[in-house]
Structure 1
Amino acid sequence: MKKLFLVLAMCGLTMSSMAQETTTDPVQKYSVATNSFWSNWFIQAGADWNAFYSNEEHGAGLSRSPFKSFRSAPGLSVAVGKWFTPGLGLRTKFSGVWGRTVIDENKHSNKYWTLNENILFNLSNMIYGYNPTRVWNFIPFVGGGISRNCDYNCYAMNLSAGILNTFRVSNKVAVNFELGWNWAENDFDGVTSGVNNRGWDSHDNKLYAEVGLTFNLGKGTWSKTPDVDAIKALSQSQIDALNAQLNDANAENARLKSLLSVKKEEPAPIVKNYSNTPLSVFFNINKSNIASRKDLVNIQSLADYAKENNSNLVVTGYADSATGAADYNQNLSERRAETVASELVKMGVNRDKISTQGKGGVSDLSPVSYNRRATVKIAE
């Protein structure tokens, strides 16, 4: 009965702490997205104070207080685990090193280890919703595993249960306080004889209180699930905006078509005469590529005129006679004419409307560099 009162007192203390959190740390519940396998891992290291209760104690009149020095001893533990959701996780825990087993009036020290697999239930997240900055989390656990008494070379299966409390220090570190119970087979203490009773007294038991640190590995938080309704609303507003733009574009297109039809009905404009003075494009010595693209500005105006009036154009290439042989200059002048003809084609003039010729080397202009040119004019 004393043990039952002790367990109830521990639960009452834990639940009162949780009640205090609900008033000081209200959290709005929301769904979280699933993380990758490599996220939300953690490792733990701690020190405990443990007390053993063997099945041989029943009826022996020995004190059962866990605070008696003859039955308690310090211990160590390490664990590794992973949270699969904010409320559900698994942990593999190794603990042990020192223990004291009470079998008879003589007190027996032993060395042991326990390896357990625990299922963790973070009730703080399950009940009050996930909160990455919550200071305190209440995490009951159950599980089972194997224990070994090294002094007696005995192995025993065991069940485990307890409460893990974590207190957040940062996103990566938490302090943990754990109360637990291991319920092992009755020969774990190396003694197979004794009174076999039901329940608590029929097995070897270990109670422990542990303090340690938890270290989160990799990503330790959970992201909110996207708000599907908000996304749908946003998408619909974007669709409405695009439809409005499309309607405006259709209206503008109809207006332009109307203006174009009116323009076609208007009489054709009177074609003005164009001064047929040849326009020049200059080249560097021994080159057939245009020296300055600025020379094409006036050529563009002439090309537009030719397109509007269906006129033919004549392109004449020149080289300066002061440099190069006559045959070379002839070829160079023809290439310069073709270069300008290609530019006219780029401006929209039909190639069939352009004729080219080369005049070879000349000395008509001064200075001599002015002879390195090609001219464009309306065909007469």
Structure 2
Amino acid sequence: MKKLLIVLAMCGLSMGSMAQETTADPVEKYSVATNSFWSNWFVQVGADWNAFYSNQEHGQGLSRSPFKDFRSTPGFSVAIGKWFTPGLGLRTKFSGVWGRTVVDENKHSNHIWTLNENVLFNLSNMLYGYNPNRVWNFVPFVGAGINRNCCADRYAMNLSAGILNTFRVSKHVGIHFELGWNYAEQDLDAVPADGKGGRIWEGKDNKLYAELGLTFNLGKASWDKTPDVDAIKALSQAQIDALNAQLNDANAENARLKNLLAQKKDATAAVKEYVGTPVSVFFNINKSVIASKKDLVNVKNMAEYAKDNNANLLVTGYADSATGKPAYNQKLSEKRAETVANELVKMGVSRDQITTEAKGGVKDLSPISYNRRATVQVK
């Protein structure tokens, strides 16, 4: 019995290791953004072979007869689950419905089903980084649930553990091969306990199984890279040119603009044309807190200009149209505009000089995540 378990465990670990060596693409590891609740769900259907080993078999030895007809029976399973991160998920699984009451080497059929809740650990993603194109994922799991012996009208609690290997066929379809163990209370088979305890296997009723089936990924089945706020600024060459000019020597540029105003009557128009380029402040998904404080350096230049020249500023908030409903995006863009307006007030700009507006969800920039921003410009 123990030898069989060791062999199954080593096979699972070997297959998992081979999966990483042969299928893991040399891609860069990166953080992923959290998806909505309705993303990354999956459904599994499978057929299994299972062997029942009861507590009444104390001393008979599982290793002597794990594949005997009196022990084994076919079964099926259905499951639904969700990945909350690339490495961690939950699954609710129903399996059954044929079973055995094993007391001797004669067939004693029962109808037994199992309902389990499993915690899934995708070690491939945890150890090697998320890779949407990985062919083979190695997923150990543990859990607990309930069994029912329909013939004896008897329920029993159980613990479960196993190894789930998934093979990618396409983005939404995969094949899975699973090895598992259900460890149930000793009266599941409706045969009174004989008082024999001893080793862990022989104190309870056990079911070992091997399952082959299909996995169907529902809806959004992948994970997006966390937006890089610094990379967002490189989207527009006009934007990056304006930002670089301000960041190189913000104070010196502000002094130059003041000098232009003193020397020429038409300097005001020239300065307004220069500072008329909107300054962008970026936000993370569903957030109204500024993602990078570096953006406030550019906002401060606008604030200094507004104070020195009694100029009015326009703050415009945006959200991306790919996430959230229109009403929610409108509120979010309003909050983003107010956040930047409050920063200008902290910098000494009178609130009377600031006008805010909200555009809601837009898709002006590509990729769509670049639209999570607010802009500041001279009116």
Find the residue that maps to 1:171 and give its secondary structure.
coil
Query: What fraction of aligned residue pairs are identical, expressed as a percent?
Result: 67
Name the counterpart of 2:355: none
- Residue type of the partner of 1:193? A
Matched residues in 1 for 2:63 and 2:244: separation? 80
Find the residue that maps to 1:205 and give its secondary structure.
strand
| Structure 2 residue 131 is the aligned partner of structure 1 residue 123 | no
Task: Give the superposition deviation at 1:28.
Answer: 1.5
Name the counterpart of 1:378: none
- Residue type of the partner of 2:244? D
- Residue type of the partner of 1:240? N
Matched residues in 2 for 1:85 and 1:28: separation? 18
- Residue type of the partner of 2:205? D
> Residues 103-139 of structure 1, C-alpha deviation per residue, up to 9 Å, x if partnerless?
1243211111000000000001000001111111111
Name the counterpart of 2:57: 57
Matched residues in 1 for 2:241 and 2:150: separation? 71
Name the counterpart of 2:72: 72
Matched residues in 1 for 2:77 and 2:193: separation? 30
- Residue type of the partner of 2:58? H
TM-score under structure 2 length normalisation: 0.62
| Structure 2 residue 258 is the aligned partner of structure 1 residue 257 | no
Task: Give the superposition deviation at 1:239.
Answer: 2.4
Structure 1 residues 39 and 123 mapped into 2: Cα distance closer, same or farther (>3 Å)?
same
- Residue type of the partner of 1:67? F
Name the counterpart of 1:326: none
Residues 22-61 of structure 1 correspond to what in structure 2 (within 5 A)? 25-60=25-60
Structure 1 residues 240 and 254 mapped into 2: Cα distance closer, same or farther (>3 Å)?
farther
Task: Give the superposition deviation at 1:5.
Answer: 3.3
Matched residues in 2 for 1:247 and 1:191: separation? 92
Matched residues in 2 for 1:137 and 1:32: separation? 18
Residues 1-380 of structure 1 correspond to what in structure 2 (within 5 A)? 1-21=2-22, 25-60=25-60, 64-194=64-194, 195-231=196-232, 238-241=242-245, 256-257=264-265
Structure 1 residues 220 and 187 mapped into 2: Cα distance closer, same or farther (>3 Å)?
same
Name the counterpart of 1:347: none
Structure 1 residues 16 and 245 mapped into 2: Cα distance closer, same or farther (>3 Å)?
same
Task: Give the superposition deviation at 1:64.
Answer: 4.2
Task: Give the superposition deviation at 1:237.
Answer: 5.9
Matched residues in 1 for 2:219 and 2:162: separation? 27
Where structure 1 has 5 or more consecutive residues not aligned to the other structure, the ranges are 260-380
Matched residues in 1 for 2:35 and 2:4: separation? 41
- Residue type of the partner of 1:38? W
User: Contact 1:60 / 1:104 at 8 angstroms: preserved in 2?
Assistant: no
Find the residue that maps to 2:8 and give its secondary structure.
helix
Task: Give the superposition deviation at 1:87.
Answer: 0.4
Larger Rg: 1
Matched residues in 1 for 2:241 and 2:67: separation? 68
- Residue type of the partner of 1:171? K
> Residues 71-110 of structure 1, C-alpha deviation per residue, up to 9 Å, x if partnerless?
1111010001011000000000000011123112432111
- Residue type of the partner of 2:243? I
Matched residues in 1 for 2:174 and 2:18: separation? 17
Equivalent residues, number: 258
Structure 1 residues 145 and 258 mapped into 2: Cα distance closer, same or farther (>3 Å)?
closer
Where structure 2 has 5 or more consecutive residues not aligned to the other structure, the ranges are 268-379
Find the residue that maps to 2:118 and give its secondary structure.
strand
> Which range moved further: 244-253 or 32-41?
244-253
Name the counterpart of 1:334: none
Task: Give the superposition deviation at 1:151.
Answer: 1.2
Structure 1 residues 170 and 250 mapped into 2: Cα distance closer, same or farther (>3 Å)?
farther
User: Contact 2:82 / 2:89 at 8 angstroms: preserved in 1?
Assistant: yes
Matched residues in 2 for 1:84 and 1:63: separation? 39
